[in-house]
Amino acid sequence: MSKDSKDVVVVIGAGGIGLAIARRVAAGRTVVLADHSEKVLERGRRAAAHRGV
């Protein structure tokens, strides 16, 4: 998929299941993680960045 892709996936819940979903659908897409807990969101962001999501 090209870098010009306009596909965006919004995942509500950056914890276990939400992060797994984000990893599963991330290929070639922009992924937006959202969570009510800033702590969980930051943990999810770091985990996603570490895995190249």
Report the pLDDT value the prediction gives residue 36, as an integer from 0 to 100: 95
- 43, burial (CB in 10 Å: exposed 0-12, middle 13-18, buried 19+): middle
Structure tokens at 15: 């914890």
Q: Are 19 and 47 in contact (CB under 8 A)?
A: yes
At 1 the pLDDT is 45
pLDDT in tens, the chain (53 residues): 456 667 898 999 888 898 899 889 888 888 899 999 999 999 988 988 887 66
